[in-house]
């Protein structure tokens, strides 16, 4: 089965010139790139095969614009052809983004026909209490984050990203990530009639991706640090394409 590969560049690279180089190297079929806002249009212009997305959008989408200094709306993203958006990333939650805000963003993305990639995942403290506790936490996050999703939405993408695994080199095991993926799919299917693709994220690299890819319930990957490293990401693409 084909696995989805999403690159979350976060606040990298530093310059437009480097961003264009990275985008060209990552430009492949079935690859989804999420560069910082500032580079979106320039990168879109050079991509031939990859799909481009944003790392966030603002929780209001007023029909006539609004007074929100520094914000970027779903309508703006849609107007330049953005296809997906990462929402609820733990790094944004750590900056104060609540489930209420995330649920608004999810609804706006869906209404604007931009595919949301909802990120969920537990802290180290929760995981230490056991996988059942982590599953309860993730179920609660999902319930809150999709609370305003339009009833017409029948498909979505969720990235399971345990916080303790992000950027630490301390990835989850493929077995636990797969167990969580099944759990997430079941919640969305049983309670919302939504068929979800579930990605794993958290210290994915060219050395560990093949093991995760063997798990049939893991539909792909959200790659952070390794996706902004041109050589490493090229290797990851090669591995994914060979599966
Ligand atoms: P990482 O980040 O691959 O650097 O751990 C993943 C993410 O934050 O999406």
* Cβ of residue 224 lying under 6 Å from some atom of ligand 1: yes
pLDDT of residue 37 exceeding 90, the answer is yes
Residue closest by Cα to atom 9 of ligand 1: 224
From 202, 208, 236, the mutation candidate for ligand 1 (largest count of ligand atoms within 8 A of CB) is 202
Q: Are strands 220-223 and 195-201 parallel, antiparallel or unpaired?
A: parallel
Please determine, for residue 1, whether its predicted confidence score (pLDDT) is greater than 60: no
Residues 6+ apart with CB under 8 A from 61: 73, 74, 75, 108, 111, 112
pLDDT at position 64: 80
The angle formed by the CA atoms of residues 38, 115 and 207, to the nearest 5 degrees, is 75
The rounded Å distance from CA 6 to ligand 1 centre is: 10
Q: pLDDT tens for residues 195-206?
A: 999 999 999 999
For range 109-116, the mean pLDDT = 97
Percent of the chain with pLDDT over 90: 96
Instruction: Give the percent of the chain with pLDDT over 70.
Output: 100
Task: Please give the positions annotated as active site.
Answer: 89, 161
As a whole number of angstroms, the distance between CA 146 and CA 226 comes to: 29
Q: How far apart are CA 169 and CA 223, in angstroms?
A: 12
Of all protein residues, whose CA lies closest to atom 2 belonging to ligand 1? 224
Domains and CATH numbers, the chain: 4-242 (3.20.20.70)
pLDDT at residue 54, as a whole number: 98
The rounded Å distance from CA 64 to ligand 1 centre is 35
In short, whether 225's Cβ falls inside 6 Å of ligand 1 is yes
CA-proximal residue: ligand 1, atom 7 (nearest): 224
**Number of residues written out for the chain:** 243
194 Cα–ligand 1 center, Å:
25
User: Is 62 a residue whose pLDDT tops 90?
Assistant: no
Residues 75-85, mean pLDDT to the nearest whole number: 97
pTM of the entire predicted model: 0.97
Ligand 1: centre distance to CA 58 (Å): 22
**How close are the terminal C-alpha atoms of the chain, in Å?**
8
Q: Which atom of ligand 1 is nearest to the CA of 171?
A: 5
Pairing mode, if any, of strands 155-160 and 195-201?
parallel
């Amino acid at each position: 089965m084909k696995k989805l590969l999403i690159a979350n560049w976060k606040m990298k690279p530093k310059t437009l010139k480097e961003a264009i180089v990275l985008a060209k190297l990552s430009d492949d079929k079935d690859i989804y790139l999420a560069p910082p806002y500032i580079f979106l249009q320039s990168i879109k212009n050079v991509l031939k095969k990859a799909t481009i997305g944003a790392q966030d959008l603002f929780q209001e989408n007023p029909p006539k614009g609004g007074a929100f200094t520094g914000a970027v709306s779903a309508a703006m993203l849609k107007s330049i052809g953005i296809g997906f958006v990462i929402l609820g990333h733990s790094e944004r939650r750590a900056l104060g983004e609540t489930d209420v805000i995330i649920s608004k963003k999810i609804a706006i993305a869906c209404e604007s026909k931009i595919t949301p990639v909802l990120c969920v995942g537990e802290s180290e403290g929760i995981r230490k209490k056991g996988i059942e506790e982590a599953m309860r936490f993730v179920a609660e996050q999902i319930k809150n984050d999709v609370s305003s999703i339009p009833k017409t939405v029948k498909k979505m993408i969720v990235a399971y990203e345990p916080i303790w695994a992000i950027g630490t080199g301390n990835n989850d095991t493929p077995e636990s990530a797969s167990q969580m993926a099944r759990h997430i799919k079941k919640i969305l299917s049983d309670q919302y009639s939504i068929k979800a693709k579930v990605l794993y994220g958290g210290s994915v690299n060219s050395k560990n991706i093949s093991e995760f890819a063997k798990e049939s319930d893991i539909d792909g990957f959200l790659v952070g640090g390794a996706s902004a490293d041109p050589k490493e990401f090229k290797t990851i693409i090669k591995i994914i394409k060979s599966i």
